[in-house]
Chains A and B, each alone.
Chain A
Amino acid sequence: MSNAYIDQFPAEAKVVKALFYSSFVALALGGVFGIIQTLHRTDIYRFIDSANYYSVLTAHGVFMVITFTIFFLVGVFTWAVTTSLDREVEDIRFTWAWVALMSIGTVMAAVPILAGLTDSIDMSAAVLFTFYAPLQGHPLFYLGLVLFVVGTWVAGADWFRSWWAWKKENPDARIPLPTFMVLTTMIMWYIATMGVATSILVFLLPWSLGWIETVNPLLTRTLFWFFGHPVVYFWLMPAYMMWYVMLPKFSGGKLFSDPLARVGFVLFLLLSTPVGIHHQYLDPGISEGFKFIAMTNTMFLLLPSLLTAFTVVASMEHGARQRGGTGYFGWLKALPWRDPVFAGMALAGLLFAAAGFSGMVNAGMNINYLVHNSLWVVGHFHLTVGTAVALTFMAVSYWFIPQVTGKELWNRSVALVQVVLWFIGMTFMTNSMHRAGLIGMPRRTAEPQYEGFEFETAVGSVGELDAQIALGGVLLTLSLVLFFANIIGTAFGSRSDTLPDNGYAEALSGSDDAPRVLDNLKLWTAIAIVLVIFAYSLPLLSIVDRGGLFGPDIPPLPVSLESVTFLAFAVEHVATVALESAGNFAQTALSGVIN
């Protein structure tokens, strides 16, 4: 009899499995749109109209960075809280309720995005992941996003419930590190999502339904980035958690320092949100002083990432030396490079270091002129969310999926090839995207060239850059195919009794070394809120003062037309009914599907 997660927490394992599978469906869809888009934009193979490119791009962005990442991470967080507190969730029906809420939200947002690809349905949400007004998506899109975010809020409440209940029974114990990481990340998420919730509920949704005439484009844009930067840490924190608590284990050793891990997460909680204006360095209507503040905060946000780099490498070295590795660099050879879980995570970390460098350039306020909104930025975030996060998630899935299904991984060699292919594919794709950005190629456009001028490369050629991007895209698609083959193969396998035990890495320097104050979540929350108020109240007031709460008189530019008016009347009714029945219906439906 094994002691895997499914043996310890059978009910929770079902939830986590459902969340992982949902995230993989999104990953598959996002991957399909990704390859269509890559081949179209590089003009290698086209079968869609360039005007439809933006629906494809919206779908790729939303499915990848909202659905895939967040469904996966709420699964990881559920595992982390239950495993590290060693207790079941307080009420499994409550847990299924937020799973349902998130699922319904996803479907609602997906419908208008996908409908945008066909002319026969008059619906579209080709407003991209950033949905900047006055471009206006279908109301269902905004409504879906709201439900999805509310679902994540309820999920956070679930984990806090677990922690409070545990604390009553263990009044003097330190918060176990994985739970500490979940809680700090969720506090950051609660603060961050206030921005997007205000933007959608107060402005964009009523506006898309025709209840208010206009919005202030700079205000909704600023509220988006209030959320838009911390959301990248919401994706990244679970990957960091895996590097801190799982990678040392797979390296054969222990986490180097528990206290420093806590310091890192506290710094992320404090600094993730008051930096969003660094996405708006080139926006008119925001003073240079506010941009400067966002720049310094951003630079200090490098600190926890640099600390993580040290701790992760030190933990790997510790593991390697336990495995008999010696020498200054010789220990690297002693690491388990043939283990897809380890190899994938280590390669993800390596590319994340490269991403750190391009990120430092982005953060450089006045250097940003050179790269803002160019393909450089796309290269940057394909290294961060596209590799550091996505590759870590895929690699760690090879450990998690057996844990939550109770089945042996279908094929470890295929898994190893898969993670290496992703690494190679991203290397081709992102180095060329960075270079293309430096010569001024914009992001988010359907065509590789313009009519009136040509992009000029110092080294290589535009054709070579496009070829590298396309080759990268093809390798990534191949990698995804192998990933799904493995997941499906595993799902159809039979129950195994020889699975490794559920668990995470111990620390060399444990939580006893960590000052008590690190666990004072109320204190960190208060400081985080104060920092956000400092960084945002004056800019927001100034934006409202300049442009008005509802902006100047600009007509919306809807990406879909007639059905909106009808929907305005229907939506209240439908939404109420949906919300009421959501809990029960989805719970039964989902548990039916999963069993």
Chain B
Amino acid sequence: MNIHSYEKLWLIAALLLIVGFIATITYGSVGLGIAMIDDSEDTVNPGSLDEDFGEPRVEHVGENEYEAYVIAQTFTYRPDPIEVPADSEVTFYVTSRDVIHSFSVVGTNVNTMVIPGEVSSMTVEFDDPGEYGIVCNEYCGDFHHTMEGQLHVVPEDEFDMTELSVEADDEVELGDEATFNVSVENGMLDDLETTASFEIGDETVEEEITVAGESTEETTFTVDSSDLGEGDHDWTITVDDYEESGTLTVVDELEEENDGGNNDE
């Protein structure tokens, strides 16, 4: 076979180009550490994600290290928004409850297919705070175009994983004590030292609490209804930026319609 000398040159140049491309991609993998989505995660059953995968959530797993467990389903992402601190390393675990979706953070190279039965995992560094949109870029049904979510990278000092919940009496009989059970959950690994403050009428009570990492602390506020008097009383319980509020009704005599006690409306 006679090959023209120009064609030989071209052939060699083409081969060099190809080898050069492979080298750059390899450098991206080995040198820069851009890992591909792979088969490192165990499979899950889309029908029983609660056991296999758990609730959609963000977990604090190490200093500046977080894990986000995301479920994609027609036509939403959970959790939404996903909140993580800046200057952190976040590993996303994403799976689907129904059809094939994608999890693609707009304007970044965070982009993966989400296939039912499989879990996509990828570790991403977020240096700066910012708000990103998440879109599904794989057609998933009639309302595919409405499938979006939010990723909030918040400044480190504004980030916490505190959850406040309050269980309180709605109605008490004049003279009885009203109780407010407060539980503060700390999702971070470090201890949380904070103050719970309780306001009702013109009364304010504060209590220092320390919640150990990854645990929940409970405390109870009580108030004597005689001090408040008959009528509606608004209350507020505050822990850091979280606030729960409600209204306590103090009545002369509780109506006893059945045996259910004082929880009935």
Which residues of A are at the interface with B, using a C-beta cutoff of 8 A?
50-51, 53-54, 57, 126, 128, 132, 134-135, 216-218, 221, 256-257, 259-260, 280-288, 291-292, 295-296, 299-300, 302-303, 306-307, 310-311, 314, 360, 363-367, 369-370, 372-374, 439-440, 442-447, 450-456, 509, 513-515, 542, 546-547, 551-555, 557, 559
Contact = CB atoms under 8 A, between A and B. Distances in A.
A50 B145 contact: yes
Contact of B99 (A134, A443, A455, A513): A134
Given A547-B117, A553-B47, A452 B138 contact: no
Contacts of B144: 54, 444-446
Interface in B1-42: 1-4, 6-7, 10-11, 14-15, 17-18, 21-22, 24-25, 28-29, 32, 34-39, 41
B89 interface: no
B143 A259 contact: no
A442 B104 contact: yes
Given A257-B7, A260-B7, A221 B100 contact: yes
A130 to B, nearest CB: 8
Given A306-B10, A450-B148, 20 more contacts: A216-B117, A260-B7, A282-B111, A282-B113, A284-B113, A284-B115, A284-B118, A284-B120, A292-B29, A295-B22, A303-B14, A372-B137, A374-B137, A439-B107, A440-B104, A447-B145, A451-B146, A452-B148, A553-B45, A554-B46
Interface residues of B, number: 71
B112 interface: yes
A561 to B, nearest CB: 13
A445 B145 contact: yes
Contact of A452 (B118, B143, B150): B150
Contacts of B115: 217-218, 221, 283-285
A359 B144 CA distance: 26
Contact of B107 (A53, A310, A440): A440
B135 A440 contact: yes
Contacts, number: 225
A442 B37 CA distance: 19
B43 interface: yes
Interface string B106-135: 111111111111111100000000011101
Task: Specify which of A311, A372, A451 lies most central, judged by the most chain B CB atoms within 10 Å of its CB.
Answer: A372
A285 B99 contact: no
A373 B139 CA distance: 10
B18 A259 contact: no
B170 interface: no
A444 B1 contact: no
A288 B38 contact: yes
Q: Could you say which of A374, A442, A514 has the most chain B C-beta atoms within 10 Å of its C-beta?
A: A442
A436 to B, nearest CB: 12
A551 B137 contact: no
Nearest to A509: B2
A290 to B, nearest CB: 9
B34 to A, nearest CB: 4
Contacts of A314: 4, 6-7
B141 interface: yes
21 contacts: A50-B145, A135-B140, A257-B4, A259-B3, A280-B113, A282-B113, A282-B120, A283-B118, A296-B22, A307-B11, A310-B7, A364-B25, A439-B106, A440-B106, A440-B135, A442-B135, A453-B106, A455-B106, A546-B118, A547-B117, A554-B47
A487 B104 CA distance: 44
Nearest to A306: B14
A282 B34 CA distance: 12
Contact of B138 (A53, A132, A366, A546): A132
A443 B117 contact: no
A552 B46 contact: yes
Nearest to A446: B145
Contacts of B146: 447, 451
B21 A364 contact: yes
A342 B71 CA distance: 53
A542 B39 contact: yes
Nearest to B1: A259
A283 B109 contact: no
Given A135-B140, A452-B133, A552 B145 contact: no
Nearest to B119: A284
Contacts of B113: 280, 282-284, 373
A453 B137 contact: no
Nearest to A303: B14
B230 interface: no
B2 to A, nearest CB: 6
Q: Which 8 A-B pairs have the closest CB atoms?
A: A453-B133, A442-B137, A440-B106, A373-B137, A369-B109, A51-B142, A284-B118, A284-B120
Nearest to B18: A299
Contact of A284 (B25, B29, B41, B104): B41
B19 to A, nearest CB: 8
Contacts of B6: 310, 314
Contact of A300 (B18, B98, B112): B18
B137 A557 contact: no
A288 B35 contact: yes
Contact of B118 (A218, A360, A455): A218
B262 interface: no
Interface string B149-178: 110000000000000000000000000000
B224 to A, nearest CB: 47
A282 B25 contact: no
A451 B143 CA distance: 14
Nearest to A127: B139
A310 B10 contact: yes
Interface in B61-76: 74
Contacts of A296: 22
Nearest to B74: A557
A292 B3 CA distance: 32
Contact of B25 (A367, A446, A450, A557): A367
Nearest to A283: B113
A369 B99 contact: no
Contacts of A514: 1
Contacts of B133: 450, 452-454
A94 to B, nearest CB: 37
Given A283-B37, A299-B18, A306-B14, A554 B98 contact: yes
Contacts of B107: 439-440, 455-456
Contact of A445 (B106, B137, B149): B137
B4 to A, nearest CB: 7
Given A444-B144, A552-B45, A307 B37 contact: no
B111 A369 contact: yes
B186 to A, nearest CB: 29
B225 interface: no
Contacts of A547: 43, 117-118
A286 B36 CA distance: 10
B249 interface: no
B98 A444 contact: no
B22 A299 contact: yes
A443 B149 CA distance: 17
Contacts of B34: 366, 369
Contacts of A509: 2, 4
A509 B25 CA distance: 37
A559 B137 CA distance: 19
Contacts of B149: 452
Given A257-B7, A259-B1, A364-B25, A557 B141 contact: yes
